[in-house]
Structure 1
Amino acid sequence: MAIRLSPNVRRVLSKIRLNRALVIIIILAVCFILYLLLPTSSSREDEKAPSNSLLDRLKPNVGRKPADPALSLDEDSFYIRGKKTHILSGSIHYFRVVPDYWTDRLKKLKAMGLNTVDTYVSWNLHEPMPGEFDFSGLLNIHEFIKIAHSLELNVIVRPGPYICSEWDNGGLPAWLLHDPNMKIRSNYKPYQDAVKRFFTKLFEILTPLQSSYGGPIIAFQVENEYAAYGPRNATGRHHMQYLANLMRSLGAVELFITSDGQNDIKASSDMAPNNALLTVNFQNDPSEALNKLLLVQPNKPPLVMEYWTGWFDHWGRRHLERTLSPSQLIVNIGTILQMGGSFNLYMFHGGTNFGFMNGANIEGGEYRPDVTSYDYDAPLSEAGDITKKYTLLRELLKEAVPHSIPNPLPDIPPNSVKESYGDVHLPLCLSLFQTLDYIPPPQESKKPIPMEYLSINKETGQAYGYVLYRTNISPLSTKMTITKLKDYGVALYDGTPFAKLSSFASQTVLLPQPSAKSSDVNLDLLVENSGRVNFGSQIGDRKGISGVVIVDDEFPKSWQIYSFEFKSSYIEHVMAGGLWSRSSAGTQTGPALFKGDFTISTTPQDTFIDMTGWTKGLVIINGVNLGRYWTIGPQQTLYVPAPLLRKGINKLLIFELHRPSSSFTVTFSKEPVLDSGGMK
């Protein structure tokens, strides 16, 4: 039965329906406005993949007057965005960590109690040839900073141009050395012009990411440990001021800092650019180091820009020759905090010197190249695992500076799963000399010249890898003398190895016994660039042979010089080439390439490739150069991050300078071996 409503009731219901409609319209309008303010679906997807969303969002701010710098200070304290705090920073170099793991490493940094991440910038990778820039993949510094920003971490950027960092040539591009008059880290105009070109491109990315424009960058470092290298006079100060002025002209508005060892801090105060904060680097005796800093900079809070949490390894030396126990680390960091200091842990996470990027040192007149691993005995291991140093530091920071650590302090992300893929056989072999068609034609020369002087790569020279010097000699020749070979070589007589050649020294070797051949024979000298010096007066060292080769008191006058750079195009040609033969025990010696494959049936996991039984060379997996191995140790395994592996077939290529494993196998294991073989 239908209910009849009175006119009055119908009028009331009509008003109610009208009010409901108005409310619905208002709600829909508000939702539409909020929708416009939310990130678009594409930007939400960008959280998974590198993008320019943060850069695009902040770039318009650059044209406006910047806010005050985020990092300020008084006589006793630092303030970040107005809040009194300690700078609790840790170093992670994006170029030493595969991008897939940046988020994990940064989350672990925050979970330990740090509020800031510090990174160098690797000029040599970003500008591999003059005017050609790369900021993609492993070099996507914008993406790295974007992730830090999403985790509410502050960022300190150390753009160099020189970074030291146990990195080839201290991060300076090798093509600088093609100029025979080059004066790096100086007021030499071609050097400064090159720096300006790179910084102009770099700061297009960095300037909008400053805190003053809404980003996370709170400070920039000018140069690096310049007081240990540059002239301690007006000339040195002029260079530092040039770099500071250049960075300001390109939009840098945040605080400038310098970074020097405690014994150089007085010189640093005389050379630092205007208004830059001096900081100090050290490992032991924090009271002494900080007092030296406070003596020359008494009215500012002390900042330790590099507190060395461990140390790096050299080939042929003991593992962790100069490291720090977890307990001593805690005592020293506690002392820094008690003295009102802030710090940057160098390193929080070291990562890996992939490819040919390891540096070297000259110690006691002896050349000592760094190993591939940059584990550094840091709080986070090379593979990103939590260590005792990590857990102790976390407890210390929670107790000592609770108001400066992230709040709430996140849970610690788990370590990655490690997998053992067992033995992998490399059944195919190819002589290095069978790949000459895959590299540029040889350069003819009347004498050996360093790789940097070669006319390849658009007349900029060879940067990395190996250089082959070939000449013809009489089969009756008896001895050979070489001077200024850098860094390691193999001598071959008519294709057969007969001598190992060491770095720097002048050395004489006997040639094989006279051959019955009446025609001349090939004399080949294959020289490895084992890593350029990255610290001290000998940075900028050129590689190959810069001296002379004398055969029976005569100078061969006709040389062919080949470059083996192991670029991706060369690797692709080698893998696809048809000249491979079966590896045969007892007959194969280097220099040679060996290849094989292995199958992963599940999701790939982190692993370590054990090079026991092999002698000296490099390992390439799926086209990626993992780095060098050497039987003299101490490093025996190479870290293989899971993102470099594939579900299915994986391709393995090894370049061996001398003798391979007798079984032509390698082993993939769950554990690293970083302490085997170094005896000195």
Structure 2
Amino acid sequence: MPTFEIGDVDFLLDGRPHQVISGALHYFRVHPEQWADRIRKARLMGLNTIETYVAWNFHAPERGRFDLDGPRDLGRFLDLVAAEGMHAIVRPGPYICAEWDGGGLPGWLLADPEVGVRRHEPRYLAAIAQYYDQLLPLVAERQVTRGGPVIAVQVENEYGAYGDDQDYLRALIAMNRERGIEVPLLSCDQADDAMQARGSVPELHRTVTFGSRAKERLDLLRRHQPTGPLMCMEFWNGWFDSWGQHHHVAPAETNAQDLDDLLAMGASVNLYMFHGGTNFGFTGGANDKGTYLPITTSYDYDAPLAEHGAVTAKWHAMREVISRYAPVPDELPADPAPAPELTVDLDRRLPLADALPALGEPAAWDHLPTTDELGHWTGFTLYRTEVTAEDRVLTLAEVRDRALVALDGEPVGVLSRTEHSRTIALPARAGELTLLLEDQGRVNYGPRIGEAKGLIGPARTATRELTDWTVTPLRLDAVEPALAALLDAAPAVAAGTPVAGPAFLRGTFPADAGADHFLRTDGWGKGLVWVNGFLLGRYWSAGPTATLYVPGPLLRSGDNEVVVLELHGAEGARVAFAAGPDLGSSEV
């Protein structure tokens, strides 16, 4: 029987010392038809292991639903890792951070204020048990001890940065073992004495996360883990981007030198990220350390393998370093061909107000509800109420996260959590006040994990509290048939005519099946893009990202459809496809 064990100094694979050289590749950030390509390029760089988180809320977007099909088919992903002759490390949380919506924790679970977050609380533990019941059998049957690729499983994630509930960690350990996980169980925490002390228990093998100064950080880990192999579970070879900030770049030569220092010490490593991928749809999270910063659609991460699967200078530099310590295949991946360049006229347009019957059902409320109260866990929600000429101003306790304010359909302004704006002056007239609320991503790190979304009351004017609301959760995960029918019936408008949002726009373009595209967002304000009904994600003139990646498997030969929801306005209704990505201005 194959084995993978913790030795006195090394990991032991079938009893022999083994240095894990791994890379992070999140199946949920990559189109499933591209999984095999990305895994193969990891092997060609010299990696022997693929690490992936498992995002609980990706598999369980609603209470009572658990999905393991299509893009959620973790079993198939692990089988592809095995087919490439590689091992796998699985990190199923339940909390993962990962700049993912809510750090992977389902909004529906934490909508109950009695549920404890990341602690030994019965309702929270019961939900985790149900999650593990549905997930861990497919991991267990693919362990190396049963002829599969999985050599280790991580329990929780950087727990020392959040809490110190050892009973909670031991409950998770017991749940894993009870469901057949036999391989070593790991913890990971930052290179900080306090975090290392809080974040693990003796039953877990500790690992550390860092991006530089390997000897110093591994020496710190050794103080907390006196025996056994040293491992950097997240070697940060890049960084994520937030809307309105610079695009982060880490120099390839610096990353390569730090990796060399680490491997020379005999330590194991997991590159975070090997391949970042994309926060499709509404899946990006947010950080809030005093200022709320949502994560961009691109999760390129300045990783060795770019968002669209191209090898980079960093890929080559790290491959050369790895070749000093492990066998590296001679084969090199081919560079991708430039993507098609073309301009597309969006000749159909439909005001959002006219599309509302196809997007959701309104309901009356006698108070200002959160979106959690609505059972609406992500995306957009429309709030409506009546105001008088005397109201003059609107003030909310909080806006989570951004709201377009209009009176009788005329724009009034924007309330923004990032800008700490929650008060806006209203025109001195009576009418219907609407707030189009965007959940820009649930907080994925820190004490605000698990908070409710939406408009947070009370909502007050100069004269009173507003309590009479009509609220509509909007279905925007895909271009559903009812919306498509309205777009079909919408009048044709010349593409050069300026766009007044919020409005949907649609056009068609020719493509070859399987060809990657890059949609430029220049000249557009803020909104969403769908291609052939699939929600690519958000764009925003705030930057840094100036293109959206369109995976080739989404495209078909012949006519393809692009739909844009523009929230503000644009000079004209045209979009362009570029030869390659533009991730924005960078800082090194």
TM-score by length of 1: 0.83
Q: Distance in 1 between matches of 2:335 and 2:100?
A: 27
User: Where does residue 410 of structure 2 map in the other structure?
Assistant: 496
RMSD: 1.8
Cα pair 1:423 1:666 within 8 Å, conserved? yes
> 2:519 is paired with a residue of what secondary structure?
strand
SS in 1 for 2:564: strand
Letter in 2 for 1:289: R
* Cα shift at 1:512: 2.2
Alignment of 1:424-443 (within 5 A): 424-443=344-363
The answer to whether residue 567 in structure 2 is matched with residue 674 in structure 1 is no
**Cα deviation, residue 273, structure 1:** 3.9
Looking at structure 2, the residues matched to 354 and 500 of structure 1 have their Cα atoms a distance apart, in angstroms, of 25
Alignment deviations for residues 515-560 of structure 1 (CA, whole Å, 9 cap, x no partner):
xxxxx51100111000111111111122111122212231122100
Match of residue 632, structure 1, among 542, 553, 559: 542
Unaligned runs of 5+ in 1: 1-66, 455-460, 515-519
* Contact 1:162-1:171 at 8 Å conserved across structures: yes
Identify the residue that residue 239 of structure 1 maps to in structure 2: 168
How many aligned positions are there?
584
**Residue 18 of structure 2 corresponds to which residue in structure 1?**
85
Aligned counterpart for 2:562 among listed residues 641, 652, 655 = 652
C-alpha displacement at 1:188, in angstroms? Answer: 2.0
Match of 2:273 among 322, 347, 372: 347
Match of 1:327 among 249, 253, 256: 253
Shift of the alpha carbon at 1:486?
Answer: 0.9
Residue 471 of structure 1 pairs with residue 385 of structure 2: yes
- Aligned: 1:452 with 2:377: no
Query: In terms of mean alpha carbon deviation, does 643-652 or 545-554 score higher?
Result: 545-554
Superposition pairs of residues 30-41 of structure 1, within 5 angstroms: none
Structure-1 residue corresponding to 2:426: 511
Asked if 2 retains the 8 angstrom alpha-carbon contact of 1:196 and 1:246, the reply is yes
1:241·1:274 contact (CA, 8 Å) conserved in 2? Answer: no
State how far apart, in whole Å, the 1-side matches of 2:468 and 2:258 are.
60
- 1:131/1:197 contact within 8 Å kept: no
The aligned counterpart of 1:62 is none
Could you tell me the percent identity over the aligned residues?
A: 37
* Alpha-carbon offset, residue 341 of structure 1: 0.8
The DSSP-based 3-state class of the residue aligned with 1:160 is coil
> Residue 156 of structure 2: which of 200, 207, 223 is its match?
223
Computing the radius of gyration over CA atoms, which structure comes out larger, 1 or 2? 1
Matched, 1:412 2:321: no
Q: Quick one: which of 177, 195, 200 aligns to 2:128?
A: 195
Mapping for residues 575-594 of structure 1, pairs under 5 Å: 575-577=484-486, 579-583=489-493, 588-594=499-505
* Structure 2: distance between partners of 1:352 and 1:188: 34
User: Displacement of 1:410 after TM fit?
Assistant: 5.0
Write out per-residue CA displacement over residues 186-233 of structure 1, whole angstroms, 9 at most, x where no aligned residue.
Answer: 222221111111110001211110111111100000000011011x2x
1:398 aligned partner? 323
The whole-number CA distance in structure 2 between the counterparts of 1:477 and 1:72 is 68
**2:454 aligned with 1:544:** yes
Give the whole-Å Cα distance in 1 for the aligned partners of 2:338 and 2:56: 33
- Residue 483 of structure 2 corresponds to residue 574 of structure 1: yes
Shift of 1:184: 1.7
Tell me the secondary structure at the aligned position of residue 247 of structure 2. Answer: coil
Q: Is the 8 A contact 1:110 1:410 kept in 2?
A: no
CA change 1:511–1:215 in 2 (3 A) is same
Take 1:99 and 1:581, find their aligned partners in 2: how far apart are those partners?
37
Q: Is the 8 A contact 1:482 1:506 kept in 2?
A: no
Which residue of 2 is the match for residue 487 of structure 1? Answer: 401
Distance 1:412 1:485 in 2: 49
In structure 1, distance between residues paired with 2:416 and 2:497: 26
1:294 aligns with 2:222: yes
| 1:82 Cα offset (Å) | 2.5
Q: Residues 89 and 114 of structure 1 are in contact (CA less than 8 Å); yes or no, is this contact kept in structure 2?
A: yes
- The 1:418–1:190 alpha-carbon spacing in structure 2 relative to 1, beyond 3 Å, is farther
C-alpha displacement at 1:394, in angstroms?
1.0
Q: Secondary structure at the match of 2:457?
A: coil
Note the C-alpha offset of 1:476: 4.7
Matched position secondary structure for 1:258: strand
C-alpha distance in structure 2 between counterparts of 1:556 and 1:210, whole Å: 57
Selected match of 1:255 from 160, 181, 184: 184
Q: Distance in 1 between matches of 2:292 and 2:371?
A: 18
Distance 1:625 1:246 in 2: 36
In the superposition, relative to structure 1, how do residues 387 and 187 fare at CA in structure 2: closer, same or farther (>3 Å)?
same
**Greater alpha carbon shift after TM alignment, 557-566 vs 433-442:** 433-442
Residues in 1 aligned to 2:422 and 2:356: alpha-carbon distance in whole angstroms: 28
The alpha-carbon distance between structure 1 residues 453 and 524, as it changes in their structure 2 partners (threshold 3 A), is same
Q: Which amino acid aligns with 2:483?
A: V
- Aligned pairs (5 A) from 1:600-615: 600=511, 602-615=512-525
CA contact (8 A) 1:76 1:340 kept: no
Q: Which residue of the other structure, out of 174, 184, 187, is the alignment partner of 2:107?
A: 174
Q: Which residue of 2 aligns with 1:60?
A: none
Q: CA deviation at 1:506?
A: 5.3
> Cα distance, 1:267 vs. partner?
4.2
Q: Is 1:386 aligned with 2:311? A: yes
Distance 2:344 2:195 in 1: 55
Give the distance between the partners of 1:553 and 1:239, measured in 2 at CA.
48
Structure 1 residues 61-72: aligned runs within 5 Å: 67=1, 70-72=3-5
Provide Cα deviations, 1:16-56, integer angstroms capped at 9, x if missing partner.
xxxxxxxxxxxxxxxxxxxxxxxxxxxxxxxxxxxxxxxxx
Residue type of the alignment partner of 1:137:
G
**C-alpha distance in 2 between matches for 1:641 and 1:502:** 31
Q: TM-score, normalised by structure 2?
A: 0.96
Q: Give how far 1:495 is off.
A: 1.0
> Can you give the 5+ residue segments of structure 2 that lack an aligned partner in the other structure?
none
In structure 2, the CA distance between the partners of 1:410 and 1:256, relative to structure 1 (3 Å rule), is farther
Looking at structure 2, the residues matched to 229 and 183 of structure 1 have their Cα atoms a distance apart, in angstroms, of: 13
Alpha-carbon separation, structure 2, partners of 1:416 and 1:547: 51
CA contact (8 A) 1:619 1:627 kept: yes
Q: Which residue identity lines up with residue 70 of structure 2 in the other structure?
A: G
Per-residue deviation at 1:586? 5.9
Map of 2:298 onto structure 1? 373
**2:529 equivalent in structure 1:** 619
In 2, Cα distance between the equivalents of 1:338 and 1:588? 58
Alignment partner of 2:238 out of 297, 303, 310: 310
Whether contact under 8 Å (1:609, 1:639) holds in the other structure is yes
Determine if contact 2:235/2:269 at 8 Å carries over to the other structure. Answer: yes
Amino acid at match of 1:129: E
1:398 Cα deviation after fit: 1.1
Contact 1:362 1:368 in 2 (8 A): yes
Deviations 1:487-516 (A, max 9, x none): 1110010011111111173533221243xx
Cα pair 1:462 1:565 within 8 Å, conserved: no
Q: Secondary structure at the match of 1:423?
A: strand
The structure with the greater share of residues assigned to strand is 2
> 1:341-367: CA deviations, max 9, x gaps?
11000000000000001111113x111
Q: Which amino acid aligns with 1:510?
A: A
Match of 1:290, SS state, is: helix
Residue in structure 2 matched with residue 114 of structure 1 by the alignment: 47
Q: Deviations over 1:659-678 (max 9, x none)?
A: 03x220110111111115x8
8 Å CA contact 1:281, 1:305 repeated in 2: yes
Q: CA–CA distance in 2 between the matches of 1:547 and 1:361?
A: 22
Is 2:345–2:573's contact at 8 Å kept on the other side of the alignment? yes
Could you tell me how far apart the structure 1 residues matched to 2:180 and 2:513 are?
45
Asked if 1 retains the 8 angstrom alpha-carbon contact of 2:513 and 2:553, the reply is no
